């Protein structure tokens, strides 16, 4: 399959190109597009054959449900059987934006979108290109991250191209995404909201809006069965093994030196401040605060290639604010956790 690619600026969606992309979606094809979190791979959520093309292109396990994307709250309310007050408040406060609410489905979306669950994850993205595409096609669009399953999520159109060129009908290039980690998934189908996946909206922000918010215990304890089915799969993996390293820069340097002594070429990912104090074969500074680190994370994971380095060492970060999402992704991407 030839993948059609359109280029545009985030703030100036190209109407003609968006029309063409929307036509493909209406015809049951897959189109990747930018959102404020990562690039999504979209298809008509009401058409099970279109949705199955997403699973095929990504190699995604079929028991991992997809998030349905819409342009407005009015459209969102047409996909769920109830919209509790807490969900309304969360939507009013944080959307359009990087928040997905899980609610009882009314069956409008195809059953392979929800992987047979009675609930559906729904989100209203803020990105102007995503908004315009959703408004133009007037469909709910199922859209997981536009990467091959298991690899880091795409934060640029080139990441999508590298993974899915020839496997999808279209790619709307709207430049790099902003937040860099996926949406926060919050289950609002019970009385107390539960964070199933940490993301762009932090637990602190959610609590300020609606009071008590729980975090799925499975996020802290990998032996529990996570309530968000996708959380149990290998995810975000770079090409070479990655160790998470706790401790001060001095401590990290000791481990770098030890591994280099055994002929390994070492790549490092760390905050800019820590990176400045280290010596290794390749060092990627991620930025000086947690928001910047989140936005660069997936690109950095994709930079390290086989044959270039043998092992990546990555600093650990505080699990506050968006750091909770950053550490959640790093723990899934890493092969080991070392402190000496
Ligand atoms: P992705 O689209 O690749 O960012 O992944 C979507 C995430 O949302 C996965 O972790 C899914 O398991 C989760 N998700 C989607 N729908 C539901 C649902 N109905 N219940 C629980 N988790 C969901
Ligand atoms: Mg994904």
Give the 3-state secondary structure of 89-122.
Answer: HHHHHHCCCCEEEEEEECCCCCCCCCCCCCEEEE
Residue 232 lies in a domain: no
Query: 137 and 187: one domain?
Result: yes
Q: Is the CB of 122 under 6 A from ligand 1?
A: no
Query: 58 and 160: one domain?
Result: yes
Q: Ligand 1 atom 11: the closest Cα is on which residue?
A: 230
Query: 123 and 169: one domain?
Result: yes
- Closest ligand 1 atom, residue 143 Cα: 2
Q: Ligand 1 atom 16: the closest Cα is on which residue?
A: 121
Confidence class for position 69, pLDDT limits 50, 70, 90: very high
Spatial CA neighbour of 142 closest among 228, 67, 83, 30: 67
Q: Is the CB of 274 under 6 A from ligand 1?
A: no
DSSP secondary structure string for all residues of 148-187: -TTSPPPSSHHHHHHHHTTTSSEEEE----SS-SPPEEEE
Please tell me the distance from the alpha carbon of residue 34 to that of residue 17, in angstroms, as a whole number: 14
Query: 57 and 140: one domain?
Result: yes
Distance 224 CA to ligand 1 centre (A): 17
Residue 120 lies in a domain: yes
Q: At what angle do helices 128-137 and 15-26 cross, to 10 degrees?
A: 50
Query: 197 and 332: one domain?
Result: no
Domain stops at, among 156, 189, 220: 220
Find the farthest-apart pair of alpha carbons in the chain and give their distance in angstroms, rounded. 61
Q: What pLDDT score does 219 carry?
A: 85
Please tell me the distance from the alpha carbon of residue 168 to that of residue 18, in angstroms, as a whole number: 16
Query: 159 and 279: one domain?
Result: no
pLDDT in tens, 214-243: 999 988 765 556 566 655 566 899 999 999
Q: Ligand 1 atom 9: the closest Cα is on which residue?
A: 230
Average pLDDT over residues 124-146: 98
Q: Is the CB of 302 under 6 A from ligand 1?
A: no
Q: Ligand 1 atom 10: the closest Cα is on which residue?
A: 230
Query: 287 and 203: one domain?
Result: no
Q: What pLDDT score does 228 carry?
A: 64
Distance 149 CA to ligand 2 centre (A): 7
Query: 181 and 320: one domain?
Result: no
Backbone φ/ψ region at 295: left (φ over 0), alpha (ψ -120 to 50), beta: alpha
Q: Is the CB of 182 under 6 A from ligand 1?
A: yes
Please tell me the distance from the alpha carbon of residue 237 to that of residue 301, in angstroms, as a whole number: 8
Query: 273 and 183: one domain?
Result: no
Q: Which of 44-58, 140-154, 213-227, 234-248 has the lowest mean pLDDT?
A: 213-227
Does a cis peptide bond (omega within 30 degrees of 0) precede residue 71?
Answer: no
Exposure class string for 211-240: b at 16+ Cβ within 10 A, else e = eebeebebbeeeeeebbbbbbbeebbbbbb
CATH of the domain at 322: 3.40.50.11030
Give the chain's mean pLDDT: 95
* Residue ranges making up the domain that contains 252: 242-338
Please tell me the distance from the alpha carbon of residue 108 to that of residue 111, in angstroms, as a whole number: 9
Q: What pLDDT score does 339 carry?
A: 82
Query: 155 and 263: one domain?
Result: no
Ligand 1: which of 98, 160, 230 to mutate, most ligand atoms within 8 Å of CB? 230
Q: Dig out the tokens for 335 from the structure.
A: 């092969």
Q: Ligand 1 atom 17: the closest Cα is on which residue?
A: 121
Residue 333 lies in a domain: yes
Give the chain's domain count: 2
- Closest ligand 1 atom, residue 229 Cα: 12
Distance 235 CA to ligand 2 centre (A): 8
Distance 151 CA to ligand 2 centre (A): 8
Average pLDDT over residues 282-309: 97
Residue 57 lies in a domain: yes
Given a cut of 80, whether residue 319 has pLDDT beyond it is yes
Query: 321 and 205: one domain?
Result: no
Query: 197 and 248: one domain?
Result: no
Residue 114 lies in a domain: yes
Residue 229 lies in a domain: no
Please tell me the distance from the alpha carbon of residue 79 to that of residue 282, in angstroms, as a whole number: 47
81 close to 105: Cβ distance less than 8 angstroms: yes
Dihedral sign of CA atoms 170, 30, 186, 122 in order: positive
Ligand 1: which of 125, 141, 147, 197 to mutate, most ligand atoms within 8 Å of CB? 197
Confidence class for position 189, pLDDT limits 50, 70, 90: very high
CATH of the domain at 212: 3.90.870.10
Given a cut of 80, whether residue 286 has pLDDT beyond it is yes
Given a cut of 90, whether residue 23 has pLDDT beyond it is yes
Residue 328 lies in a domain: yes
- Residues by chain with Cβ below 5 Å of ion ligand 2: 145
Beta bridge partners of 119: 104
171 close to 181: Cβ distance less than 8 angstroms: no
């Amino acid at each position: 399959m030839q993948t059609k690619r359109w280029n545009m600026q985030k703030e100036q969606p190209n109407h003609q190109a968006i029309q063409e992309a929307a036509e493909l979606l209406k015809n049951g094809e897959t189109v990747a597009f930018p959102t404020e979190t990562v690039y999504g791979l979209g298809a008509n959520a009401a058409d099970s054959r279109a949705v199955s093309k997403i699973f095929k292109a990504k190699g995604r396990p079929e028991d991992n449900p997809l998030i349905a994307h819409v342009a407005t709250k009015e459209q969102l309310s047409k996909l769920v059987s109830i919209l509790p007050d807490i969900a309304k408040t969360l939507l009013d406060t944080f959307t359009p934006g990087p928040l997905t609410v899980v609610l009882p489905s009314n069956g409008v979306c195809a059953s392979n979108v929800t992987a047979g669950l009675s609930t559906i994850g729904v989100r209203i993205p803020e990105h102007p290109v995503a908004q315009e595409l959703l408004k133009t096609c007037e469909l709910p669009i199922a859209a997981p991250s536009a990467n091959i399953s298991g690899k880091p999520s795409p934060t640029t159109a080139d990441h999508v191209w590298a993974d899915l060129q020839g496997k999808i009908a279209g790619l709307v290039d709207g430049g790099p995404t902003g937040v860099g980690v996926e949406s926060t998934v919050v289950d609002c189908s019970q009385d107390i909201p539960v964070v199933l996946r940490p993301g762009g909206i932090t637990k602190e922000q959610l609590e300020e809006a609606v009071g008590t918010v729980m975090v799925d215990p499975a996020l802290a304890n990998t032996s529990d069965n996570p309530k968000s089915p996708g959380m149990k799969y290998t995810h975000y993996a770079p090409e070479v093994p990655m160790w998470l390293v706790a401790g001060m820069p001095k401590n990290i340097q000791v481990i770098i030196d030890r591994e280099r002594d055994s002929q390994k070429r070492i790549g490092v990912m760390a905050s800019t401040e820590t990176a400045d104090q280290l010596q290794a074969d390749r060092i990627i500074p991620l930025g000086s605060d947690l928001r910047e680190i989140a936005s660069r994370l997936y690109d950095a994971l994709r930079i390290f290639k086989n044959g270039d380095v043998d092992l990546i060492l990555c600093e650990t970060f505080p699990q506050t604010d968006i750091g909770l999402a950053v550490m959640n992704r790093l723990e899934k991407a890493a092969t080991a956790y070392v402190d000496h």
